[in-house]
Amino acid sequence: MMRDLADEIRRVLGIEGILSRDEILVELDKHPAIVASSTVGAKREKLRRSISKMVDVVKVGETVATRYRLAGFEESDYKQELLSKADELVTNSIRDYNGEIDQGGFDKVTNGAIDILVRRGFVLPEQLKCTGKAISFEPFEKKATTFSLPGRSVNAISELAEGLKIMSDERLEIEYLGIVPPSDSNKSTIVALALEILLCVVRKQNASFVGTQI
Protein backbone atom coordinates (compact mmCIF):
# COMPACT_ATOMS: atom_id res chain seq x y z
CA MET A 1 0.00 0.00 0.00
CA MET A 2 1.33 3.43 -0.99
CA ARG A 3 2.24 5.60 2.00
CA ASP A 4 0.72 9.08 2.34
CA LEU A 5 2.43 11.99 0.61
CA ALA A 6 4.23 13.30 3.71
CA ASP A 7 5.74 9.89 4.44
CA GLU A 8 6.86 9.54 0.83
CA ILE A 9 8.50 12.98 0.97
CA ARG A 10 10.40 11.85 4.09
CA ARG A 11 11.43 8.64 2.35
CA VAL A 12 12.76 10.46 -0.72
CA LEU A 13 14.64 13.07 1.32
CA GLY A 14 16.06 10.31 3.50
CA ILE A 15 17.52 8.64 0.40
CA GLU A 16 18.41 11.64 -1.76
CA GLY A 17 19.39 14.21 0.89
CA ILE A 18 18.73 17.77 -0.24
CA LEU A 19 16.22 18.38 -3.06
CA SER A 20 14.23 21.22 -4.59
CA ARG A 21 10.43 20.97 -4.82
CA ASP A 22 10.64 20.15 -8.53
CA GLU A 23 13.18 17.40 -7.83
CA ILE A 24 10.89 15.93 -5.16
CA LEU A 25 8.02 16.14 -7.66
CA VAL A 26 9.99 14.09 -10.20
CA GLU A 27 10.65 11.43 -7.58
CA LEU A 28 6.97 11.27 -6.54
CA ASP A 29 5.23 11.83 -9.88
CA LYS A 30 3.43 8.46 -9.64
CA HIS A 31 2.05 9.04 -6.14
CA PRO A 32 -1.79 9.06 -6.19
CA ALA A 33 -1.95 12.44 -4.43
CA ILE A 34 0.24 13.97 -7.16
CA VAL A 35 -1.43 12.14 -10.05
CA ALA A 36 -4.82 13.45 -8.86
CA SER A 37 -3.73 17.02 -9.76
CA SER A 38 -4.16 17.74 -13.46
CA THR A 39 -1.59 20.53 -13.96
CA VAL A 40 2.06 20.97 -13.01
CA GLY A 41 1.15 24.09 -11.06
CA ALA A 42 -1.44 22.19 -9.03
CA LYS A 43 1.03 19.38 -8.35
CA ARG A 44 3.63 21.89 -7.12
CA GLU A 45 1.09 23.61 -4.90
CA LYS A 46 -0.04 20.30 -3.35
CA LEU A 47 3.60 19.43 -2.65
CA ARG A 48 4.27 22.91 -1.20
CA ARG A 49 1.30 22.65 1.16
CA SER A 50 2.34 19.20 2.31
CA ILE A 51 5.95 20.25 2.98
CA SER A 52 4.85 23.39 4.86
CA LYS A 53 3.06 21.19 7.42
CA MET A 54 6.07 18.93 8.04
CA VAL A 55 8.03 20.03 11.11
CA ASP A 56 10.84 17.56 10.35
CA VAL A 57 11.59 19.07 6.91
CA VAL A 58 13.68 22.25 6.84
CA LYS A 59 14.51 24.78 4.15
CA VAL A 60 17.96 25.20 2.63
CA GLY A 61 18.30 28.59 0.88
CA GLU A 62 15.56 31.04 0.03
CA THR A 63 13.03 31.99 -2.69
CA VAL A 64 13.56 30.29 -6.09
CA ALA A 65 16.71 28.63 -4.78
CA THR A 66 14.94 26.94 -1.86
CA ARG A 67 15.67 23.26 -1.31
CA TYR A 68 14.63 20.89 1.45
CA ARG A 69 16.20 18.31 3.74
CA LEU A 70 15.21 16.30 6.78
CA ALA A 71 16.07 17.96 10.09
CA GLY A 72 19.49 16.77 11.28
CA PHE A 73 20.49 15.43 7.86
CA GLU A 74 24.15 15.67 6.84
CA GLU A 75 25.31 14.76 3.34
CA SER A 76 27.72 11.80 3.29
CA ASP A 77 31.14 12.24 1.68
CA TYR A 78 30.18 9.75 -1.05
CA LYS A 79 26.93 11.61 -1.84
CA GLN A 80 28.90 14.86 -2.00
CA GLU A 81 31.26 13.16 -4.48
CA LEU A 82 28.32 11.97 -6.60
CA LEU A 83 26.77 15.45 -6.69
CA SER A 84 30.09 17.11 -7.55
CA LYS A 85 30.55 14.63 -10.41
CA ALA A 86 26.98 15.29 -11.60
CA ASP A 87 27.74 19.03 -11.68
CA GLU A 88 30.94 18.38 -13.64
CA LEU A 89 29.11 16.18 -16.17
CA VAL A 90 26.37 18.77 -16.77
CA THR A 91 28.86 21.65 -17.07
CA ASN A 92 31.07 19.77 -19.54
CA SER A 93 28.04 18.59 -21.48
CA ILE A 94 26.68 22.10 -21.99
CA ARG A 95 30.01 23.80 -22.60
CA ASP A 96 32.02 21.20 -24.51
CA TYR A 97 29.87 18.33 -25.82
CA ASN A 98 26.82 19.97 -27.41
CA GLY A 99 24.51 18.81 -24.64
CA GLU A 100 25.72 15.20 -24.58
CA ILE A 101 27.19 13.48 -21.54
CA ASP A 102 30.80 12.44 -22.13
CA GLN A 103 30.75 8.63 -22.07
CA GLY A 104 34.50 8.13 -21.74
CA GLY A 105 35.83 6.25 -18.72
CA PHE A 106 32.65 5.47 -16.79
CA ASP A 107 33.30 4.38 -13.20
CA LYS A 108 31.16 3.84 -10.09
CA VAL A 109 31.00 7.55 -9.21
CA THR A 110 30.19 8.62 -12.79
CA ASN A 111 27.47 5.97 -13.12
CA GLY A 112 26.00 7.04 -9.77
CA ALA A 113 26.04 10.70 -10.83
CA ILE A 114 24.33 9.89 -14.14
CA ASP A 115 21.68 7.88 -12.27
CA ILE A 116 20.91 10.96 -10.14
CA LEU A 117 20.69 13.20 -13.22
CA VAL A 118 18.41 10.78 -15.08
CA ARG A 119 16.07 10.19 -12.12
CA ARG A 120 15.72 13.93 -11.49
CA GLY A 121 14.95 14.67 -15.15
CA PHE A 122 18.17 16.52 -16.05
CA VAL A 123 19.42 13.88 -18.52
CA LEU A 124 17.55 11.72 -21.03
CA PRO A 125 18.21 8.03 -20.24
CA GLU A 126 18.23 6.78 -23.85
CA GLN A 127 20.67 9.27 -25.38
CA LEU A 128 22.48 10.49 -22.24
CA LYS A 129 21.77 14.04 -23.38
CA CYS A 130 20.91 17.00 -21.18
CA THR A 131 17.31 18.16 -21.02
CA GLY A 132 16.39 21.84 -20.83
CA LYS A 133 16.16 21.54 -17.04
CA ALA A 134 19.91 20.88 -16.88
CA ILE A 135 20.68 24.58 -17.40
CA SER A 136 19.32 25.18 -13.87
CA PHE A 137 21.00 22.19 -12.25
CA GLU A 138 22.76 23.05 -9.00
CA PRO A 139 23.71 20.12 -6.73
CA PHE A 140 24.32 22.21 -3.64
CA GLU A 141 22.98 25.65 -2.67
CA LYS A 142 22.15 28.11 -5.44
CA LYS A 143 23.73 31.54 -5.21
CA ALA A 144 21.19 34.33 -4.78
CA THR A 145 22.10 37.44 -6.79
CA THR A 146 20.65 40.93 -7.10
CA PHE A 147 21.43 43.17 -10.06
CA SER A 148 19.85 45.97 -12.07
CA LEU A 149 19.10 45.83 -15.79
CA PRO A 150 18.26 48.50 -18.38
CA GLY A 151 14.67 48.51 -19.56
CA ARG A 152 15.55 47.01 -22.95
CA SER A 153 17.10 43.99 -21.22
CA VAL A 154 13.97 43.45 -19.13
CA ASN A 155 11.92 43.61 -22.34
CA ALA A 156 14.33 41.15 -23.96
CA ILE A 157 13.74 38.66 -21.14
CA SER A 158 9.99 38.77 -21.82
CA GLU A 159 10.55 38.23 -25.55
CA LEU A 160 13.02 35.43 -24.86
CA ALA A 161 10.53 33.65 -22.58
CA GLU A 162 8.02 33.57 -25.45
CA GLY A 163 10.62 32.51 -28.01
CA LEU A 164 12.03 29.76 -25.78
CA LYS A 165 8.51 28.41 -25.21
CA ILE A 166 8.09 28.07 -28.99
CA MET A 167 11.48 26.35 -29.31
CA SER A 168 10.53 23.98 -26.49
CA ASP A 169 7.19 23.12 -28.09
CA GLU A 170 8.89 22.48 -31.44
CA ARG A 171 11.77 20.56 -29.78
CA LEU A 172 14.35 22.91 -31.34
CA GLU A 173 17.84 22.87 -29.84
CA ILE A 174 19.60 26.07 -28.86
CA GLU A 175 22.63 26.71 -31.05
CA TYR A 176 25.95 26.44 -29.17
CA LEU A 177 24.41 24.47 -26.27
CA GLY A 178 22.74 21.57 -28.06
CA ILE A 179 19.78 21.40 -25.66
CA VAL A 180 16.06 21.98 -26.07
CA PRO A 181 15.03 24.80 -23.69
CA PRO A 182 12.58 24.05 -20.85
CA SER A 183 8.96 24.93 -21.54
CA ASP A 184 8.64 27.21 -18.51
CA SER A 185 11.83 29.31 -18.71
CA ASN A 186 11.80 31.89 -15.91
CA LYS A 187 14.12 34.88 -15.51
CA SER A 188 16.82 32.85 -13.75
CA THR A 189 16.76 30.18 -16.47
CA ILE A 190 16.97 32.78 -19.23
CA VAL A 191 19.94 34.51 -17.57
CA ALA A 192 21.69 31.14 -17.12
CA LEU A 193 21.11 30.27 -20.79
CA ALA A 194 22.31 33.69 -21.95
CA LEU A 195 25.50 33.45 -19.89
CA GLU A 196 26.35 29.97 -21.21
CA ILE A 197 25.76 31.08 -24.81
CA LEU A 198 27.84 34.23 -24.33
CA LEU A 199 30.63 32.22 -22.70
CA CYS A 200 30.66 29.86 -25.69
CA VAL A 201 30.79 32.76 -28.17
CA VAL A 202 33.57 34.57 -26.27
CA ARG A 203 35.65 31.40 -25.98
CA LYS A 204 35.35 30.70 -29.70
CA GLN A 205 36.22 34.27 -30.69
CA ASN A 206 39.15 34.41 -28.27
CA ALA A 207 40.43 31.05 -29.50
CA SER A 208 40.28 32.35 -33.06
CA PHE A 209 42.08 35.56 -32.03
CA VAL A 210 44.81 33.68 -30.17
CA GLY A 211 45.25 31.39 -33.17
CA THR A 212 46.01 34.36 -35.44
CA GLN A 213 48.70 35.57 -33.03
CA ILE A 214 50.75 32.37 -33.20
Per-residue pLDDT reduced to its tens digit, 128-186: 999 998 998 888 766 777 778 899 998 999 999 999 999 999 999 998 899 999 888 88
Do 64 and 84 share a structural domain?
no
pLDDT at 213 over 60: no
Do 178 and 108 share a structural domain?
yes
Domain residues for the domain of 19 are 5-70
Do 89 and 56 share a structural domain?
no
Query: What is the tally of structural domains in the chain?
Result: 2
Helix (H, G, I), strand (E, B), or coil: what is residue 60?
strand
* Structural domain ending residue among the three candidates 44, 70, 96: 70
The H or E element that residue 110 is part of is helix 108-119
Per-residue pLDDT reduced to its tens digit, 32-49: 889 888 888 889 899 989
Instruction: List the one residue out of 97, 115, 94 whose CA is nearest residue 106.
Output: 115
